[in-house]
Amino acid sequence: MENQEIRKPEGKLGVLIVGLNGSVSTTFLAGILSIRKKLANPIGSLTQMGTIRVGKRSDNNFPFIKDFVPLTSIDDLVFGGWDIRDENCFDAAKYAKVLNDSDLKNVADDLKTIKPMKAVFDQNYVKRLTGKYIKEGRSHYDLMTQLRKDIRLFKEMNSLDRVVVIWAGSTEIFIEEKDVHKSNDAFVDGMMKNDPDISPSMLYAYAAIAEGAPYINGSPNLSVDVPAIIEFANDMNVPISGKDFKTGQTLIKTVIAPMLKMRLLGLNGWFSNNILGNRDGEVLDDPGSFKTKEESKLSVLDSILQPELYKELYSDYYHKVRISYYPPRGDNKEGWDNIDIFGWLGYPMELKINFLCRDSILAAPIMLDLILFADLAQRSNMKGIQEWMSLFFKSPMHSENVVPEHDLSIQSMKLKNTLRKLMNEMPITHLDTNGVEHTVEEYECYD
């Protein structure tokens, strides 16, 4: 299948990761290198293993997504990035302790060649981290300009056709939208004057967009999600997306909550508790960083359950999210959800979920999908917020005049219909035409 309006994925695609030495990043990199060597399958990746139905149900046509849309091959990805410590990705992956030694040994030589560039970092925004491998500059603007130079050099030195930048760095403290974030002019002025409401993640986002590179935000930080940078991305014709990879508990929440609403079951309370022992858990132990994560995790239920429409069912539920730093568990997060619901005649019931997951194992394939879809979006002349990529985010970015879509199944349908539209195929609405008069030929395509 071909769409002339989508530029072909020719040449190499650079992937610049902010937080290159983190658990998610190194698990992602080790995974890609193993998959390239045919030592593993890309489990969890929609772009690599997912299929898409095309045409009527009776056509029985389910191509792989990677054969349906022109995606960059994982063999054509070239990796780089920034971090606050001068370690190669093999040493960093060993420190992360997500993958065992035998898996890392297979890709050790390649991982050792991937090293970070000096970061733009300020401990005021991530209290629990210290690092020496950081850039110095006269102003935020100067630091942003240095990041732009890094992107350009990386592109030149590796003879790259295109670059995508993804934030997989630590969660910054909670920042509210202020005047400096409202317009591009105010933001540029703020960078010149070192405005404290401009965090490092915003400088990476701005630099990426200025260099024409799609920017993805895997953390809950505001980062690219402020009017000034959204406006800049639109002006520069650059796709952006975020926020916060949807991996464990929220993934489950966005499946269970829609089910409750679909079946009109009421909710009295939802208590989500987590223990986590990796560096992310340590960073989130700081109240400022936790507040950013909490806002992201709490936003989900209200927008799915719509209490303003379903007063008798959802106007009075108690929602609590906790993350406790517990070092013995490392990256193997354990989540408990206690959900108090009620049904016919108000009789109470309980639902308990105990998810023993692995944070970075769930996040790595999402990172791959986001990178490949962001590149596809750019080659398809899509710009600004890419809401169709909401499937991968806890707190999806959305336009000002609409609410975000959190329901996982709607997000999936939205994503697949966007791919169908890109390839000039009919969207699938699942409309049942049996018994419905359908004189319009178009309906034949739906079923």
Ligand X SMILES: NC(=O)c1ccc[n+]([C@@H]2O[C@H](COP(=O)([O-])OP(=O)(O)OC[C@H]3O[C@@H](n4cnc5c(N)ncnc54)[C@H](O)[C@@H]3O)[C@@H](O)[C@H]2O)c1
Rounded to a whole number of angstroms, the minimum distance from the CB of residue 277 to ligand X is 11
Beta bridge partners of 165: 16, 215
Among 9, 14, 19, 70, contact with ligand X (rule: CB under 6 A): 19
Instruction: Give whichever of 141 and 314 is closer to ligand X, judged by the CB atom.
Output: 141
DSSP 444: G
The answer to the question of residue 375 lying near ligand X (CB under 6 A) is no
Nearer Cβ to ligand X, position 357 or 385?
357
Strand pairing of 13-18 and 162-167?
Answer: parallel
- Identify residues 292-331 at the interface with ligand X (CB under 6 A): none
Q: Is 114 in the site for ligand X (CB under 6 A)?
A: no
Q: How far apart are CA 105 and CA 51, in angstroms?
A: 32
From the CB of 126, what's the least distance to ligand X, in Å? Answer: 5
Contact call for residue 254 and ligand X (CB under 6 A): no
Q: Does position 200 bind ligand X by CB under 6 A?
A: yes
Tally the C-alpha atoms within 13 A of residue 83's C-alpha that lie toward its C-beta.
20
Q: Are 401 and 410 in contact (CB under 8 A)?
A: no
Residue of 16, 111, 117, 126 that binds ligand X (CB under 6 A): 126
CB atoms within 10 A of CB 365: 23
Q: Is the peptide bond before 243 cis (omega within 30 degrees of 0)?
A: yes
369 binds ligand X (CB under 6 A): no
Q: 148, 181, 253, 279: which one contacts ligand X (CB under 6 A)?
A: 279
The token pair that represents 101 in the structure block:
């030694």
Question: Per CB under 6 A, does 31 bind ligand X?
Answer: no
Question: How many chain residues bind ligand X (CB under 6 A)?
Answer: 36
Which range binds ligand X by CB under 6 A, 35-43, 103-111, 357-365, 383-391?
A: 357-365
Find the shortest distance in angstroms from Cβ 184 to ligand X: 22
Tell me the three state secondary structure of residue 49: helix
Stretch that binds ligand X, among 32-40, 155-163, 240-248, 267-275 (CB under 6 A): 240-248
Query: Is the separation of the CB atoms in 41 and 429 below 8 Å?
Result: no
Asked if 18 is part of the footprint of ligand X (rule: CB under 6 A), the reply reads yes
> Does residue 22 bind ligand X (CB under 6 A)?
yes
Q: Which of 15, 24, 32, 216 binds ligand X (CB under 6 A)?
A: 24
CB 408 within 8 A of CB 256: no
CA gap 68, 271 in Å, rounded? 41
Return the H-helix or E-strand segment holding 179: none
| Rounded CA Rg of the chain | 22
The answer to whether residue 240 forms part of the interface with ligand X (CB under 6 A) is: no
169 or 365: whose CB is closer to ligand X? 169
Is 170 a residue that touches ligand X (CB under 6 A)?
yes
DSSP output for 109-175: HHHHT--PEEB---TTTSTT---S-B---SSHHHHHHHHHHHHHHHHHHTT-SEEEEEE-SPPPPP-
Query: Which residues sit at the interface with ligand X, rule CB under 6 A?
Result: 18-19, 21-25, 82-85, 96, 119-121, 126, 129, 168-171, 200, 218-219, 244-245, 247-248, 278-280, 283, 359-360, 362-363
